[in-house]
Structure 1
Amino acid sequence: MNEFEYDREQRAAQTASRGGLPTGSGLPSGGVESSAPVAGIVKPLPPEWFVPHETNAEMRWDTLRESCTGFHVPTERFFVRNHTSTPVIDPDTWRLTVTGDGLRGPAVRFGLAELRRLPVTSFSSAVECAGNGRSFFATQQGHGVPGTPWALGGIGVASWRGVRLAEVLRVAGLRPEAVDVMPVGLDPDYVTSDGRNLGHVRRPLPIGKALDDVLLAYEMNGEPLTPDHGAPVRLVVPGWVGIAWIKWVGTIEVAAEPLHSPWNTEFYRMFGPDYPREGGAPLAGQVVKSAFELARGAELAVGECHRLHGRSWSGAATIRQVEVSTDGGRGWQPARLLDRPDAGTWTRWSFDWRPAYPGPYTLLARAGDQEGNTQPRRSPNNREGYLFDAVVLHPVIVV
């Protein structure tokens, strides 16, 4: 892709369709480079760290290499995905209510101190918005979609600490007949553009996943959760789309029959010509992606060796390999993996490149995981722009 083609696709993306989404869905209100604060987000959002999108804040990959070379993203740098706004909840008065006909007895309530007395579990995991990469449906594939125009910064890896959901359900008295578990957030009610009040954000999990590796986390990166990231307690659902990671959990419904909410019926399903009329199954696992830690359109000196860095991840399995192309995809070479691959997180990598001639170049990075999933050249189009997994075109200029 040359500079003209890239600029043309950027203009096409700016004029793509943006209708049909509820309020709070993150439609852009202006240029994505705006440094205006995001209403409803508590923490500071320096423009050198974040790209604001209405109720959301996207992490800037181009500054990650300069100020965050570690495996985990610092909490202050972590992206924010809000459907409405961040509530500030007193941890001393907060209570978690576990209720429903999937329990042997009446509802059970837990305070934060009671959760902390239960067996502790810690692990690292990536949380990623299902729409991460959405903007590339328009800029690379000519398929305009509504919703938050994420590039690739709607993801972060953190160290989480808390109690397994399975342990809380055990203490609450789980019945063997239970089939679904629905955490409910304490954020403000979600109201659509046509005035429908859908209530708190909530989404059911099948009991198999709930009893497997799901965490009720009260710490992030070694510190208590902050308001924007779910304090006092949030769900951590390794490998699954971010909507499953309910923040500010106040209630967990346990049911002996399937549960439903707008977030697994109307939203977060695949719609379009290639899917059933009623939509595909509710989104669960994430797909394979790669991102350069480099500004789009960056200038690099000709004849010098440049160590390119990036990160690749998959919701299904550990990363097996990463390849880089410096000629727009005609040839590929292996990148050097810098981490021991770990399922549910990302793998950092590097690639040395000495460009011989000045001019525009298109860099590409593609990853494959241990389950055989690889990044295609084109991602299947869908109405809402979910799960973009294609290789992303990354333009640079050699001078």
Structure 2
Amino acid sequence: MPDPDSARPQDEIAYDRGRLGQWLDGDARADGVSRRGMLALLAAVPAAGLVAGTPRPAVAAPTAATAGAVVAPVSGTTVKPLPEEWFRVLGTNAETRWEALRGTGYHTPSERFFVRNHTSTPVIDAAGWRLRLWGSGLRGSPAPERAVEFSLPELRRMPAVTRSAFLECAGNGRSHYASQQGQEVSGTAWTLGAIGMARWRGVRLSEVLRRAGLTHRAVDVMPRGLDAEFVSGGENLGRVRRPLPVAKALHDVILAYEMNGEPLPYDHGYPVRVLVPSWIGISSVKWVGDIEVSATPLYSPWNTDLYRLFGAAHPEGGGPPLGRQTVKSAFELAAGARFRAGRTHLLHGRSWTGAGTIRAVEVSTDGGGSWRAARQLDVARPGGWVRWSVPWRPRRTGPAELLARAADSTGRVQPAESVHNDQGYLFDAVVRHPVTVR
């Protein structure tokens, strides 16, 4: 089966055009999405010549109780501590301070890994947890109450894979739309710390789907989390869930139960999470409890109203659902860091991309007036980042701006300005890092 990532976004547009056609013909199901939302998606991806029918009603999904998990609340939004020297706390979320990554190595220590929570971290009893697979894309088309179940020990007995991959929120860098470009956006005001690199171990989703009875009719795979239902703007959107094309699910997605050689921490999906390499973080559903495998296209609020590009520069009704991440760079420095004039300093940073690999990194120490190549310290790998360094000997005292830009193997280069969208996703412009020379 071809990989839908090979030609993003064309393949994703074609994929959604086909799904919309099926929805209009009454062969698709919108889980928690209004007809208005569906028509907005239709406007974004025209499907000429289609005739509207009557969408089929939603099928009830397993709840936390029917999934066999015992979920306990936590007193705050996270279980792990969030010391100020490591994190900026942003509501239910916490972004990693880049200066806290200096000297930590290639993988982000789990205790310093950023947290993206819609509500609060659930504490789940792994002994009672079961992963339930159900839906019309499986042999026998099991309903939720007749789902195929796997316990954690059963998953661990399956062939395991280990992969180093970054996770990054689609809104990483969002605050720079306002601070650098003077543009209003909605959402959590991340700087660049909503990313982390870890070594994940688990079982291929393709293996689990095969054992559950995947059929050739399957088109969508939708994991659902066991965290609390998410209420936004007074509307209950239900538990976090987002469908994946079956081709992506079979390609490189894993069900991870270890992070950096240890069981998943509670805040990062214990006992099992989905890992979708190179795609926006919402695809990698934490605390997964059930997976619907459907022979008809699926939609949720997380790929209709959310995680699409809206605004003047995008199609009326929004662009297609987001998949791959973009290319970015960051210095391992605090904003406003101080340097001595007349001394040589070694600047460090990291660059990453969701497509291909990092090909080159350049750094400017004069606000963009001139650029020079940084020394790459890692072999560039798909789904990973590259650490780099460059020496700097400032001569003048006063404020200065450091800039870093990366290019990847697909030809993408970080631009001077990111194309605006209302929800502030996929900021990819070169970030101006302020420092002081004294």
Take 1:128 and 1:39, find their aligned partners in 2: how far apart are those partners?
A: 23
1:64 and 2:98 aligned: no
1:251 and 2:290 aligned: yes
Take 2:232 and 2:175, find their aligned partners in 1: how far apart are those partners?
A: 22
Question: Counterpart of 1:235?
Answer: 274
SS across alignment from 1:69: coil
Alpha-carbon deviations, 1:156-201, whole Å to 9, x = none? 000000000000000001001111000000000011222x211100
What RMSD, in angstroms, separates the aligned Cα atoms of the two structures?
Answer: 1.1
Percent identity of paired positions between Structure 1 and Structure 2: 63
Take 1:183 and 1:363, find their aligned partners in 2: how far apart are those partners?
A: 41
The Cα of 1:358 is off from its aligned counterpart by: 1.3
The Cα of 1:360 is off from its aligned counterpart by: 1.4
What TM-score, normalized by structure 1, do the two folds share?
A: 0.89
Question: Counterpart of 1:97?
Answer: 132
Tell which deviates more after alignment, 382-391 or 351-360.
Answer: 351-360
The letter for the 1-side match of 2:333 is L
The Cα of 1:146 is off from its aligned counterpart by: 1.7
The Cα of 1:207 is off from its aligned counterpart by: 0.5
The letter for the 1-side match of 2:317 is E
Answer yes or no: is the 8 Å Cα contact 1:315–1:344 preserved in 2: yes
Alpha-carbon deviations, 1:35-86, whole Å to 9, x = none? xx99311110111000000000010002221xx4310011111000001111
Question: Counterpart of 1:373?
Answer: 412
Alpha-carbon deviations, 1:77-98, whole Å to 9, x = none? 1000001111000011100000
The letter for the 2-side match of 1:198 is L
1:72-221 alignment, distance < 5 Å: 72-105=107-140, 106=142, 107-194=147-234, 196-221=235-260
SS across alignment from 1:219: strand
Answer yes or no: is the 8 Å Cα contact 1:38–1:56 preserved in 2: no
The Cα of 1:357 is off from its aligned counterpart by: 1.4
Take 1:137 and 1:222, find their aligned partners in 2: how far apart are those partners?
A: 37
1:40 and 2:77 aligned: yes
Take 2:338 and 2:159, find their aligned partners in 1: how far apart are those partners?
A: 51
Give the number of equivalent residue pairs.
Answer: 360
What TM-score, normalized by structure 2, do the two folds share?
A: 0.81
The letter for the 2-side match of 1:40 is T
Answer yes or no: is the 8 Å Cα contact 1:38–1:52 preserved in 2: no
Answer yes or no: is the 8 Å Cα contact 1:38–1:55 preserved in 2: no
Picking from 372, 376, 399, the partner of 1:333 is: 372
SS across alignment from 2:251: coil
Take 1:161 and 1:64, find their aligned partners in 2: how far apart are those partners?
A: 22
SS across alignment from 1:76: helix
Take 1:158 and 1:58, find their aligned partners in 2: how far apart are those partners?
A: 15
Question: Counterpart of 1:30?
Answer: none
Answer yes or no: is the 8 Å Cα contact 1:39–1:54 preserved in 2: no
The letter for the 2-side match of 1:96 is L
Unmatched runs of 5 consecutive residues or more in structure 1: 1-36
The letter for the 1-side match of 2:106 is F
Take 1:394 and 1:285, find their aligned partners in 2: how far apart are those partners?
A: 25
1:352-367 alignment, distance < 5 Å: 352-367=391-406
Take 2:287 and 2:421, find their aligned partners in 1: how far apart are those partners?
A: 30
Unmatched runs of 5 consecutive residues or more in structure 2: 1-73
SS across alignment from 1:143: coil
The letter for the 1-side match of 2:131 is L
Take 2:389 and 2:232, find their aligned partners in 1: how far apart are those partners?
A: 44
Take 1:144 and 1:302, find their aligned partners in 2: how far apart are those partners?
A: 37
Take 2:356 and 2:336, find their aligned partners in 1: how far apart are those partners?
A: 32
Answer yes or no: is the 8 Å Cα contact 1:184–1:201 preserved in 2: yes
The letter for the 1-side match of 2:215 is R
